[in-house]
Structure formats: structure tokens, C-alpha cells
Amino acid sequence: MNILFVCDPLSSFHIEKDSTFTMMREAQKRGHAVWACGTADVFWQSTGVVAAQMQAISLTGDPQDWFSVSAQETRALHSMSAVIMRLDPPFDSEYFYATHLLSQAEREGARVFNSPLALREHPEKLSLMEFPSFASPTLVTRSPQAIREFHLQHQDIILKPLDGMGGMGIYRVKADGLNLGSIIESLNRDGSTSVMVQKFLPQIAHGDKRVLVIDGEPVPFALARIPQGNEVRGNLAAGGKGVAQPLSARDLEIAHAIGPVLASRGLLLVGLDIIGDCLTEINVTSPTCFREITDQTGFDVPSMFMNAIERQLAVSA
């Protein structure tokens, strides 16, 4: 099979922790041809089909020079066996336009994972609002007054932008309300920008757990991303320490309730973020932590993912 990864520049990969790299390695191990391109390489010309300037790559096993390019070609996306969308957030206008090109490629016969329509319909911060029985108290608003009232009710809160990633732009405001006004000004921009506000969960001290769900089934281990020092954020990009651990009964309850619903909508891979017993985010663009869970537990997450891809392709063959 020919598998195309639509991803960030290969030169930017940190392969010691990159989940997309582990997917590529597993695909190559199984004898599939690995191709790569960026969203800027995808194009659609009138009277033509959606195509991309792409590279055929081989993984070398050398951590310093980890891939070699064996071919550079322009190919229609529907000519590939599978297209795996793995571009990192933020979900900006260019990402949005890319999903529309990928939707057209689907209409032409391409198999795209995750579904571009599902990517558009499930913004990562907002998707959890569909499952209120599992979520922490959460408000999404453009109203500064509504944010102040939420703080008055819950006393200790977290504020974050809807388009943030890796813990970027996250603030905690305690009962004293210190700096709440300036934080609202920074995130809300005089009511022009929506903000997500959540009740602070002290269980963050034990980690912000990433639970991976593949084709509706949870990976049996989560990666608890534990804040370090005085940091409130557990994100690995913000310096959190990743510790793999078996899923708790509550983790399984959440994953089994939400996973099949999202899988039925075309979300083959999702990353549920859980603090304590509460769902805080649903990640769909390029969920990570494959490498950390596999290295620490021996459970082969990339193999489970590639099994799901092959199973999906066999069903549609």
C-alpha cells in the first residue's frame, strides 16, 4: 500500500517523541510505501483532481539523519491507499481550507484519516461540551461579565483560548481574582474572542491524562502528564513529566462511552484529556503520546493504529 502522511515539515520532527514518526515506522515495517507532504503541497486545479507534490521516503534508523527521499512526484490523493492527516494545531484558516481540499479528495475516492469533515465538526476545545456528564464545569463565552460570574461561582478557575495548543495561553485565577481583569483583556480582547473557562481541578497534581482511542477502542494505558514545580500545566510542551499508567475504571467509562460515537463520525484516532474523573478536552487533529506509552509499557500503540488503518481499508476494498 501507498500511505501518504500530510504533516509538518519532516525536518521539524523530534523522532524520539514524535507519534507521526512511529506511525511511519510501523507502516514501513509492514512493507507499505511511505509518502509525505505538507498542506502547502496540496492543490486543486480546475478541471483536475486534488493532488499533491509529495516525497517517497525511507526511514533509515539513523536518529541524526532519519529519512531519505527516494522519489518526488505529483500524484492525485485518490491514487494513494490512505491519506493520514497529521498536521499539528492550531486549527487556523489554512488548516480549515486544507480540510476542504481533503473533503474533495474523498469525493474523488481518497480514504482520509481522520475524516476532514469530522475534523471541521469537532474543534478540540468545544467537542467535550457534547458530553457534559463527563466534563468538568465549563463555560465558552465572549462575555467578560459571564467569565467574572463563573469565577464568582467556582472561585478557582482555568482560562484558555479556543485555538491554543501545548498549554499555550492557559491561565489560572484563584479565589482572590488576582489579575482576572488583565487576563480577560488578553484572551477576550474586549469581547471579540471566545474564551473557554473551566473549574480548576486539583487532581492535576497527579497528571493530565492523555487517553488514546483508536477506532473506538481505548489504548489500555494513558500518559499522565504531571506538572513540574509551580507550573499549573501538565502539557509535555510546557515541561510536564509524562508517566504511563493503566487506565482507571473512570478512564475506561469515558473512553467506552465517547470513543465509538466519535469513531462512527470518521474520527479513527482521538486523544481524550482527563484530569481526575473529568474530561477536559478531545484532541482530534494530531493526538500524540504514542512513543511515550509504547516505550514505558511495551504496549505497541503504532501497531494498534496501523491495524485499524488496514482494517478500515479492507472493509472498503
Q: Indicate the burial class of 114 (C-beta count within 10 angstroms; 0-12, 13-18, 19 or more).
A: buried
pLDDT of residue 130: 95
- Are residues 144 and 89 located together in one domain of the fold? no
E strands, the chain, are 2-7, 33-37, 42-44, 50-59, 67-76, 82-86, 112-113, 138-141, 157-161, 171-173, 195-199, 208-214, 217-218, 221-226, 241-246, 269-275, 278-283
Residue 171 to residue 142: CA distance in whole angstroms: 16
pLDDT of residue 238: 61
pLDDT of residue 227: 84
- Are residues 104 and 187 located together in one domain of the fold? no
pLDDT of residue 234: 60
CB 184 within 8 A of CB 147: yes
pLDDT of residue 110: 98
User: Could you tell me the residue range of the domain that residue 211 belongs to?
Assistant: 203-307
194 domain residue, yes or no = yes
pLDDT of residue 134: 97
* Cis, bond preceding 90 (omega within 30 deg of 0): yes
Q: How many distinct structural domains can be found in the chain? A: 3
Output the pTM of the full model.
Answer: 0.93
149 domain residue, yes or no = yes
- Are residues 187 and 224 located together in one domain of the fold? no
Taking CA atoms, 237 is separated from 25, 116, 165, 167, 226, in Å, by: 23, 26, 9, 7, 12
- Residues of the chain short of pLDDT 70, as ranges, are 166, 229-238, 317
- Which of 118, 145, 173 represents a domain boundary (last residue)? 118
- Which of 166, 185, 200 represents a domain boundary (last residue)? 200
Residues linked to residue 171 through DSSP beta bridges, in sequence order:
159
- Are residues 257 and 220 located together in one domain of the fold? yes
315 domain residue, yes or no = no
Residue 5 — left, alpha, or beta (φ > 0 → left; ψ -120 to 50 → alpha)?
Answer: beta
Which CATH number goes with the domain that contains 171?
3.30.1490.20
pLDDT of residue 288: 95
Which CATH number goes with the domain that contains 261?
3.30.470.20
- Are residues 277 and 242 located together in one domain of the fold? yes
Known catalytic residues are 125, 160, 210, 225, 233, 273, 281, 283
- Are residues 105 and 148 located together in one domain of the fold? no
- Which of 176, 200, 224 represents a domain boundary (last residue)? 200
